[in-house]
Amino acid sequence: LLCKAFIGHPSSSPYENVAIIMNFFHLTAASIWLGGIIVIIFLLKEGVFAKEGEQHDIYWNTLQAYSMWALFTVAVLAISGAVNGSLLIPDFHSLVSTAYGITLLVKVGIFALMIGFGAYHLVSRTMLSRQKFYKKTIKIEMVLGVLLLMVTSVFTQLQTPTLPIDKPFYSEAEISYNENLSLAVSPKKTGIQNQYEVNLFDNDRDPLKDPEQITIELKQGDQQTSFTLEKAGEGKYTAENLQLNSPGKWEATVHLLFKDLDSYDIPFEFNVR
């Protein structure tokens, strides 16, 4: 299982060591959970029909002991699976639009069904004190477990999703009739100098008259900052700084002030990784 963890998808994660450890725990917990169910069904089948005697006692004592292991392994499966999923799938879009993500959702669905059957067995036996033999429901849980392994095997043929190339930001907006504005942020990354470029143009793409002042206000949560752009050409204004200092969603408002004191605030939004 440890060797499998080293050569599987976790080795492609940016957090390789954590992913490999979590995958090893995941595989081990799955083996204990499904292995226990298989033992109960195939090796203790005589105890299922015995109303008393040694086989009856072995069946119920094993079921009781296995339940604690099952609870523990389910917890390990849920935690390790969630951690590895977050390490291997970069965003929600990849989860619902890629073959790897959809297969994972199917796996989670089967896992939830197995938990439902396991919870039924536990509550029925311990809290309601029902000494039923659960022949059908335990078999269903085992079949779901085998199906879960089959779905898991599909992962070996699938490539883990990757984030699309993060392109610079560019968008256009209308200021007023026959007056337009564009904002470009490049390369739109944290920790480096980003260039902000604003262009003013009419519907024929000809440059507009120069404003008295043009500033950009950046906002993310409670963090807010602003800076002034300098003219770099006809209708073109630029600035460079390190203001994009954290990933996430940013709001950029371009503030225009003209000599006749007309002012405009043009909002934009973009995401930074």
pLDDT at 64: 77
Same-domain pairing of 153 and 181: no
Range(s) of the domain holding residue 175: 169-272
Beta-strand pair 230-233/223-228: unpaired
Residue 130 belongs to a domain? yes
pLDDT at residue 133 above 60? no
Buried b (16+ CB within 10 A) or exposed e, 163-178: eeeeeebeeeeebeee
The verdict on pTM exceeding 0.85 is no
Let me know whether 124 and 88 are in one domain.
Answer: yes
Q: Which of 128, 157, 186 is the last residue of a domain?
A: 157
Largest CA distance in the chain: 100
Residue 205: both structure tokens together: 């793409």
Half-sphere exposure of 6 (CA within 13 A, CB side): 3
Residue 162 lies in a domain: no
- The string of pLDDT tens digits covering residues 75-119 is 898 898 888 888 878 778 788 888 888 988 998 999 899 888 878
**59 lies in the same domain as 152:** yes
With cut-offs at 50, 70 and 90, classify the pLDDT of residue 170.
Answer: very high
What SS3 state is found at 138? helix
Mean pLDDT, to the nearest integer, of 35-61? 73
Residues 148, 247, single domain; the answer is no
Total number of domains constituting the chain: 2
Residues 119 and 201 in one domain: no
Please tell me whether residues 183 and 219 are part of one structural domain: yes
| 189 and 146 share one domain | no
Do 238 and 182 share a structural domain? Answer: yes
